[in-house]
A and B are shown apart, each in its own frame.
Chain A
């Protein structure tokens, strides 16, 4: 494996990790507030469709992004309605949201564009362009440094936004009053309620933040990573993000580490369909399954125990 291949793999790692990162951070925020969110996948998908559709209609990727976020937030409010207001089963609600996204995207796409459940391909400003970090091109001829710089430059602006959201989420959760309350709501909602803070409002806030994050992640899928929407284009990324969230034990920085690891697995699997290690050949399918296998091992507590927020999944019933 030469340097160029390694650079290419790392570059594509960063690209593939970005949608996972947005969804993973979204999962961290909701689950920290005590709401299980299996619907990450559905929110990515619905936003991917609406971003692509409206980027196409308006000719601007930014308009697409906004509509995608809106669609994702509508789905998170639906999840909030089911799991906060009506105290329904959060898992069932998440499952429903995933199916709803999977079905509606194709039905609407077929009705609007009539191209078998996809949007027309996006060109020019309908996609987010490459953003070159200033000064990096000057490094291009420097042997190793130039190659390393290559990994980080020339990505969509959303990739950098994703990286920026890691410290932001960390700051929000650990350094603000809002974050303290949010985490408390996920551990002991009754105590938060006693302190005079509305559990319902905190949980809705968390769910909506997650909607915004998934919205950006979905928009990235269809307007940056790909050039348009195709059916089921989230392809299980919401679930991998869920796995990354557990892998990171519900912490933002570790979340970044987890999505980079999972992104790299995907990048390697794309680059080498059958990884030949000399003695044994690792089939592509093993690389695809590895994030899930690692998550199960982590969940089993063999490598450090993953303990979820204590009030996760429990609807809060106010005492009278």
Chain B
């Protein structure tokens, strides 16, 4: 993904991703047209449904919070040249950690409960990433395959835990009991009410949003302003060169994956503790995979990831509105997501090479 010599930085960072995104949206529009709906109406409905009210924003940013965590998780591993496809499983296990911490310990107040749950979620997520990381570092097992396998194993563990261990004896539903009221996180409407701002009370956006923003800044500092981040990037650019410079590949592989898994696990404070206030089956709802799309679109930079996360939050909430008011099913967002991954990720060169050629010919002329 080089090419900074042949074209200006703004084209590399903005123009190419935007063109890819445009292609993905154009094809999505064609799909909507093909199933007999009006793409322009669909766009209007999506915008009004996700950005037209504090309720819409509450959902959009709630989804964006999930995607921020998983997007950052993917990016940290990617900087160390690893393709962590396991955020889904790591976030699932993070949910288990958050649920155990919330249920087992009688917390007096949500503030310390939140800190405890963050530790629990991050630890469980990191632990789930540790085995693939260790196997990659020590035994050379390909991390893509092991993390895929761990996603499925996590799903089985979760089904077992919820149906055999954590389910209350009186309930048939494979879910934990509700968390105690002292662990319930303040929602955005509760946070903004003292400031005199009214925010939708039914939207799930909660205090985790601010933690996600802190995590975003934290990842930026980590990757570009610390020694560890430098080592991660050096290792990611060239393994042999990093080893020559005295960087331990085992250490960097394991640490990068622990941070990645920890960030995925942290997502659980948003969806499990903040929104559902109990642990249910499939609580992650694919956010782990969307993290891949978000990180690819954001060029693995925290700022880019933040923008991409909000965009995907918008697509998610907008897609839900579409399903509600038109005959376009909710799965349309999966199609859009797939096209975004395809064009910004896999077919990157299809857009990049012509743009580079254009800039080269422009330079030659001037």
Chain A interface residues (CB < 8 Å from chain B): 36, 38, 78, 81-83, 86-93, 95-100, 102-104, 106-108, 110-111, 117, 231, 236, 239, 242-243, 246, 283, 285-286, 288-289, 292-293, 295-296, 299-301, 308
Any A CB within 8 A of the CB of B194: no
Complex contacts, B296 vs chain A, CB 8 Å: 92
A140 to chain B, nearest CB (A): 39
Would A38 and B144 count as touching, CB distance under 8 A?
yes
Would A295 and B149 count as touching, CB distance under 8 A?
yes
Complex contacts, B139 vs chain A, CB 8 Å: 299-301
Residue of A nearest to B164 (CB): A283
Complex contacts, A292 vs chain B, CB 8 Å: 149-150, 152-153, 156
Apart from the given pairs A89-B83, A92-B341, 18 other A-B contacts in the complex at a CB distance below 8 Å: A36-B144, A82-B347, A86-B349, A88-B350, A89-B345, A95-B341, A99-B289, A99-B335, A100-B335, A100-B342, A107-B329, A110-B331, A111-B34, A111-B36, A117-B329, A285-B157, A292-B150, A299-B149
Q: Which of B12-43 contact A (CB under 8 A)?
A: 31, 34-36
Q: Which of B289, B342, B349 contacts A87 (CB 8 A)?
A: B349
Tally of contacts, chain A with chain B, CB under 8 A = 152
Please report the total number of B residues contacting A with Cβ < 8 Å: 50
Residue of B nearest to A83 (CB): B346
Would A296 and B150 count as touching, CB distance under 8 A?
yes
Residue of B nearest to A100 (CB): B338
Would A107 and B145 count as touching, CB distance under 8 A?
no
B36 to chain A, nearest CB (A): 7
Complex contacts, A95 vs chain B, CB 8 Å: 85, 289, 292, 341, 345
Residue of A nearest to B352 (CB): A86
Chain B interface residues (CB < 8 Å from chain A): 31, 34-36, 83, 85, 131, 135, 139-142, 144-146, 148-150, 152-153, 156-157, 159-160, 163-164, 289, 292, 296, 327-329, 331-339, 341-342, 345-350, 353
Would B347 and A107 count as touching, CB distance under 8 A?
no
Would A107 and B35 count as touching, CB distance under 8 A?
yes
Would B85 and A91 count as touching, CB distance under 8 A?
yes
Would B141 and A296 count as touching, CB distance under 8 A?
yes
A82 to chain B, nearest CB (A): 4
Q: Which of B85, B141, B337 contacts A300 (CB 8 A)?
A: B141
Would A106 and B331 count as touching, CB distance under 8 A?
yes
Docked Cα-Cα span, A99 to B329, in Å, equals 15
Residue of B nearest to A82 (CB): B346
Are A289 and B157 CB-contacts (below 8 A) given A91-B85, A104-B335, A239-B152? yes
Complex contacts, A231 vs chain B, CB 8 Å: 331
Docked Cα-Cα span, A81 to B346, in Å, equals 9
Would B156 and A288 count as touching, CB distance under 8 A?
yes
Would A102 and B135 count as touching, CB distance under 8 A?
no
Would B135 and A299 count as touching, CB distance under 8 A?
yes
